[in-house]
Amino acid sequence: KMQYPLTEKIGHPDLLVGRQNDFRKFDKWLSLIPMRMSKSRVILARRKSGKTAFVQRIFNRLWSENGAIIPFYFDFAEKDIWYPDFAIGYFCTFVSHYISFIERNDKWVNKPMLLEDILEYGLANSNSLLVDEVKSFHQNKKDGLHDAMWERAYSAPHRFAALLDTRFLVILDEFQNITQYVYRRENGEGKPIESLAGSFHYHSESKIAPMLVTGSYVGWLLNVIGKYLEAGRLKHTSMSPYLTLDEGLEAVYKYAEFCQETIIDETAVLINRLCMADPFFISCVIQSDYEKKDLTTLDGVVDTVDYEISDRQSEMSKTWNEYIQLTLQRVDDNRDAKNMLLHLSKYTERDWTPQELKEELQLDIDINEIQKKLVILSEADVIERGIADIDFRGLRDGTLNLILRNRFEKEIEGSAPELKQDFRDKIAVLKAKEQKLQGKLNQLSGKMAEHLLAIAFRRHRYFKLSDFFQDVLDMARLNIVEVRERVIIQRDDGKNMELDVVAKSKCGRVILVEVKNTTDKIGLNLVETFQEKVEVYGKLFPDKKILPAFLSLAGFHTDAIKYCQVQGIGTADEIPM
């Protein structure tokens, strides 16, 4: 059973949708850790890309699996801290996550133990390793040996893995912050210990406690890694801020459901397209404070998306404005920097050199100064560098480009962008291509169809199953009290089986639904497999009356239909919404 001992920043766990390719890639990497074959990794992606949600889900999955890998998660906060307190906090978090895992007690994940708690636990459980560690910390602090305290802390995962013959995954979130917020003096005077990142130089190559590192400022993070860890020690993995169109549409429906925001299929597709399947952008639109927000009409969607980009008080605008302003503050003469940034964001299909930008934009500064500004912009992750040192290119990031246009186009070019008209042009293009905004359910993924069916069950709540499926034998009117998606059950031989949608009625009846979206019609084999799941569920919950149903968006072969009729399985090839 999936558990969430680490409270995920995304909010409700169901709001993390998609990322199947990313999870598949990391599942392979994780599977090799027990065999000491996995190299430490760093995830490279701009802020609000879902990195933290992704690594926190990896932590919760490993914790839930209770397998060969013990996860440890630490967030380097943007908060000044005294060196020995930092060392103790890091160590206590690590040990708390270790004890939480072996004891199967999640209370120590979000609220780490104190040194005194760890000592008490060690004594009570005859764990000399923990007792010795805590005593050493106390002695080092008493003697003022703060470097020794930190060395004991950062080396703990590798040392514990070796001594206990186990494996740890060391997840370090916002790693670049370690260079800016830890101070040797208790009062915070002096400079932060920038070289602290170098502590991980040796342990970044550990195969028994590999690291998974993230950061919201790619340029800064790469500089830190390159300077203190050597770039080749961590394998780089890029993560796009965008989902696939199917995944983005699922995110729209999820956020609308959890935020209790009314949308229709037509506007759901439009929100997804205008937000470019960016889940953060989607969440901002669904939760927007725009006074005239109406997400049930196309014009209402356009106005709300425009507000999130254009109004300085919107969540979307505030988030990006802070990011851009921090970048521009590092560049002398903001106007030239804005001019280059806007130009590069408009023409992302090619690289530009300082000389070309000087001529194209008629800049009154020399080539070396332009190069310097471009390097700063690239380190701040608002543009990227090409193969040659003099090549620079705008990011192919639609969300960022919209923000930049809104912020700088009027100042640089003399007229404000017509974003609303651009959005309406997108609607026209969609219609011209005959991609109807309301969409056809048979064009959606099976996973998306599962979610839409679950939404329909929750929305209607009181219904007969025959309202959704044909050939239903039980005509009782149901009162749905719980709907879950992708529920795992287990056969007698230990094999896991997944039920796509499980809906429980107050009367004790349970709807079990299999959802498929295949190229061809469903045949006999698949419905027989579903019947096996129904029987397994019946053995696990003998007091429940089961109402089975099968949704196939591609339809059914005749033999499959006949089998369903004999077994009392309802069938449907569309979802009545």
- Output the pLDDT for position 434: 45
For the beta sheet containing 211-215, the strands, ordered from the edge strand earlier in sequence to the opposite edge, are: 69-75, 167-173, 211-215, 41-44, 235-238
Domain borders along the chain are 13-238, 442-572
Does the CA dihedral 305-309-314-318 come out positive or negative?
Answer: positive
Distance (Å, whole) CA 102 – CA 109: 12
Distances (CA, A) of 415 to 164, 205, 328, 407, 410: 66, 53, 21, 11, 4
Query: pLDDT tens string for the chain (577 positions)?
Result: 789 999 999 999 989 988 989 999 999 999 999 999 999 999 988 888 999 999 999 999 999 999 999 999 999 999 999 999 999 999 999 999 999 999 999 999 999 999 999 999 999 999 999 999 999 999 999 999 999 999 999 999 999 999 999 999 999 999 999 999 999 999 889 999 999 999 999 999 999 999 999 988 887 888 899 999 976 789 999 898 899 888 898 899 999 989 999 998 888 888 998 998 999 999 999 999 999 999 999 999 999 998 998 888 888 888 887 777 777 777 765 788 888 988 998 888 899 999 999 999 999 999 999 999 998 888 777 888 888 999 999 888 888 888 888 877 777 777 777 777 877 777 777 665 544 444 444 455 667 788 888 888 988 889 999 999 999 999 999 999 999 988 999 888 888 899 999 999 999 999 999 999 888 999 999 999 999 999 999 999 999 999 999 999 889 999 999 999 999 999 999 876 5
Residues facing residue 384 across a β-bridge:
393
Do strands 509-516 and 496-505 pair parallel, antiparallel, or not at all (unpaired)? Answer: antiparallel
* Element holding 44 (H helix, E strand): strand 41-44
- Distance, in Å, from the CA atom of 247 to the CA atom of 222, rounded to the nearest integer, reads 29
Q: How far apart are CA 450 and CA 458, in angstroms?
A: 12
Q: Which CATH number fits domain 442-572: 3.40.1350.10, 3.40.50.1370, 1.10.10.10, 3.40.50.300?
A: 3.40.1350.10
**18 Cβ contact list (under 8 Å, min separation 6):** 243, 244, 247, 248, 250, 251, 279
Neighbours of 412 (CB within 10 A): 18
Q: Decide if 13-238 and 442-572 have a common fold.
A: no
- The CATH superfamily holding the domain 13-238 is P-loop containing nucleotide triphosphate hydrolases (3.40.50.300)
User: 3-state class of 573 per DSSP?
Assistant: coil
The pLDDT value recorded for residue 517 is 85
How far apart (Å, rounded) are the C-alpha atoms in residues 18 and 23?
A: 9
3-state secondary structure 334-375: HHHHHHHHHHHHHCCCCCECHHHHHHHHCCCCCHHHHHHHHH
**C-alpha pair distances (Å), 312 with each of 130, 306, 307, 338, 415:** 51, 11, 9, 18, 18
Cβ(483)–Cβ(502) under 8 Å? Answer: yes
